[in-house]
Structure 1
Amino acid sequence: MPHIVSLESGYYRVPLEAELSDSTHGQMLEFELNTLRVRDADGAEGVGYTFTVGRNGAAIEALLARDFPDLALHEDADRIEHLWQKLWWGLHYGGRGGPTVLALSAFDMALWDLKAKRAKLPLWKLLGGHDPRVPCYAGGIDLDFPLDKLLRQTDDNLGKGFRAIKMKVGRARLAEDVARVKAMREHLGEGFPLMVDANMKWSADEAIRAARAFAPYQPVWLEEPVIPDDVAGHARVVREGGLPVAAGENLRTLWEFKHLIATGGVTYPEPDVTNCGGVTAFIKIAHLAEAFNLPVTSHGAHDVTVQLLAAVPNRSYLEAHGFGLDRYIAEPLKIEEGYALAPDRPGHGIEFDWPGLDAIRA
């Protein structure tokens, strides 16, 4: 049995190439990256990671460096469901979310990477192998960009092969948001896939007004219109706003997704593999969405998530997130005429530049 012999964590502050902004987190100049390398008795290694928008990374590092080895060392690395449950319940009293589930997500991702490498399969094939070509959009973090800069960013993304674009909304005045969405629609043309993301900015009433104002410009979805805790508000926005709703990047468990989906509060469930409980939880959420005949999308960590969406039949769009790791990985995500391509390398396919990361260690 491939017993776990070591866990090696890393904690880094990654500078962004440009200042980014949204309606909730404000201006962002860097993000935090936490990594975990899990090695087994045969010398094989799996890698996992998670990220934050600039806080709590030290708490995640403490969990990965101190608590996880106590629970995981000498366990069979192939018993991923057993290990997930052991870590979940072993850390449950102070967990159920927050840094604990982000740390668990990184650990679980590393286990699946290790398992796929040992099987000599890309992760998307190990998990089901539906279709390696996944529709992909460029997720801009651009609320405070002047309009001309927003349109230049869009043209740059079109030049990179993207055929769907997401922009931020949630400015102080709804009229400003509407004018920017209108300008983006005119720039992209009729029928071009355009998403809008409010980052939890509004009450349900405000979100319904905004959705109705955006409707003439035919966005694919309105993302995170209200806080994740307002499940009833989500359901109202879906019913009364007239637009599909994407949500879930701030949900932390399968059970939170079950509640939001079952109450009719989401059209496009949107898990993030780095904070929902890892690959194990992401795939369960995707299958739960399939049972409700809903398409699943994603948030963040696109280099890993392309593997997960490629595995399931109800995948919709992969988000290519603004917090990209292109500078620190060997082979970044490939985009071809609007599709992200899941690689055929064994595992999840990410090989970090560890010396490069050491230079930005927190």
Structure 2
Amino acid sequence: MSQTSLTIRSVRARAVVAPISRPVKNAFGVIEAAPLVLIDVVTDQGVTGHSYIFAYAPLTLKPLVLMIEEIGRDLAGKAIAPFDLMAAMDARFRLLGWQGLVGMAVSGLDMAFWDALGQAAGQPLATLLGGSPRPIRAYDSYGVVDPKADAGDLKRSLDQGFAGIKIKGGDGDAANDERVVKGVRKLIGPDIALMIDFNQSLDPAEAISRIERLAPYDLHWVEEPVAQENLLGHARVREMSPTPIQAGENWWFPRGFAEAIAVGASDFIMPDLMKCGGVTGWLRIAGQAEAASIPMSSHLFAEASAHMLAVTPTAHWLEVLDLARAVLAEPIRIVDGALTARGLGLGLNWDEAAVKKYLV
């Protein structure tokens, strides 16, 4: 079947709250389970494209489902041509703006479009995009940890071959951050990359101070030290920091990245497929990263991100925070600390019994 022959028949969105292997605590709270919206784009040709988005909080599930299905009704009868559809949705939501739930819905639909195209072509998305699936170096992503209480989990990550560990900071004062970083560094040794994510919890002055205090522990990067929209604040922190600055999971669509890169907001970037415009947005951002020689990593959505990083010229790290495992027929599998894209399209298939169990 030609991948250009697909026509949208209908769009279905379902909300689930899926269990996760360990709670994720950050500076603002704890994620005990994963509120997800599963998206199915059904075509007239019998192919169904799948994707999912992470709703962050259960209260956003219902509006996201309604929005995705409402947009889907307007898409019925249209050909699956993702760049054309993205341009049409950009025009539709220009006055409302991309940020927030609209951007999440549009990005989720875009991922499902590309999944359908890959299935129709009989190819993994990485192959459809001109590359090939290959092992992508991954790091295991934690919330706030205690070096003693969580030692078993951290050692299991190392046993899986992970060459990087990310933990959360900002859940206390600078002394607590140092205690945790020092303890984790001692546990994992000097050869494992250690990253810390502040989740936008600091002001620039405090971020500069804390980063300086943590410098002796050889951090691979400091992530989102200040508010994501404070691009000048990020640039100021970066200028003063002895450690590379990582950001981008909360920058919206390619325009957001263009603005951030222009002011020198970070050393590394990490688009989130759900906020950057899905596959279509990611491809445009990857071009910006290549032009600026900026290493580019992923945020969440490991299954799809493994395909995207395989065709990203400056591919850096893949984040593993396995939010959808409970509802996938074939969850991700880490081999020697790396993840290789698999399956046709994005390689996503639902475990319908699990979906029924966790359906909201």
TM-score by length of 1: 0.94
Question: After the TM superposition, which segments of 4 or more aligned residues of structure 1 sit over 4 Å from their partners?
Answer: none
- Provide the C-alpha distance between the structure 1 equivalents of 2:56 and 2:98, rounded to a whole number of angstroms: 20
Other-structure match for 2:358: 360
- Matched letter for residue 242 of structure 2: G
Other-structure match for 2:32: 29
- Provide the C-alpha distance between the structure 2 equivalents of 1:244 and 1:289, rounded to a whole number of angstroms: 16
| Contact 1:36/1:49 (8 A) holds in 2 | yes
Query: Which residue of 14, 18, 31 maps to 1:14?
Result: 18
**1:164-198 residue CA offsets vs partner (Å, 9 max, x unmatched):** 11111113210111111111111121232111111
**1:220-268 residue CA offsets vs partner (Å, 9 max, x unmatched):** 1000100111100100111101111111111122111111111111111
1:120 is the counterpart of 2:122: yes
The runs of 5 or more residues in structure 2 that have no matched partner are: none
Other-structure match for 1:111: 113
- Matched letter for residue 101 of structure 1: G
Other-structure match for 1:64: 68
- Matched letter for residue 46 of structure 1: G
Q: For this pair of structures, how many residues does the alignment match?
A: 355
Other-structure match for 1:281: 281
| Contact 2:147/2:187 (8 A) holds in 1 | no
- Matched letter for residue 346 of structure 1: L
- Provide the C-alpha distance between the structure 2 equivalents of 1:152 and 1:59, rounded to a whole number of angstroms: 39
Other-structure match for 1:45: 48
Percent identical residues: 28
In the TM superposition, residue 298 of structure 1 has moved relative to its aligned partner by: 1.0
The runs of 5 or more residues in structure 1 that have no matched partner are: none
In the TM superposition, residue 5 of structure 1 has moved relative to its aligned partner by: 1.0
- Matched letter for residue 134 of structure 1: I
Query: Alignment partner of 2:150: what SS?
Result: helix
Q: Which moved more, 1:191-200 or 1:51-60?
A: 51-60
- Provide the C-alpha distance between the structure 2 equivalents of 1:34 and 1:94, rounded to a whole number of angstroms: 22
Other-structure match for 1:262: 262
- Provide the C-alpha distance between the structure 2 equivalents of 1:89 and 1:155, rounded to a whole number of angstroms: 49
Other-structure match for 1:201: 201
TM-score by length of 2: 0.95
| Contact 1:124/1:132 (8 A) holds in 2 | no
Other-structure match for 2:84: 82
Query: Alignment partner of 1:56: what SS?
Result: helix
CA RMSD of aligned residues (A): 1.5
**1:257-297 residue CA offsets vs partner (Å, 9 max, x unmatched):** 11111111111111111222111101211221111001100
Query: Alignment partner of 2:277: what SS?
Result: coil
- Provide the C-alpha distance between the structure 2 equivalents of 1:130 and 1:38, rounded to a whole number of angstroms: 25
- Provide the C-alpha distance between the structure 2 equivalents of 1:333 and 1:290, rounded to a whole number of angstroms: 28
In the TM superposition, residue 218 of structure 1 has moved relative to its aligned partner by: 0.9
In the TM superposition, residue 160 of structure 1 has moved relative to its aligned partner by: 2.3
Query: Alignment partner of 1:281: what SS?
Result: helix
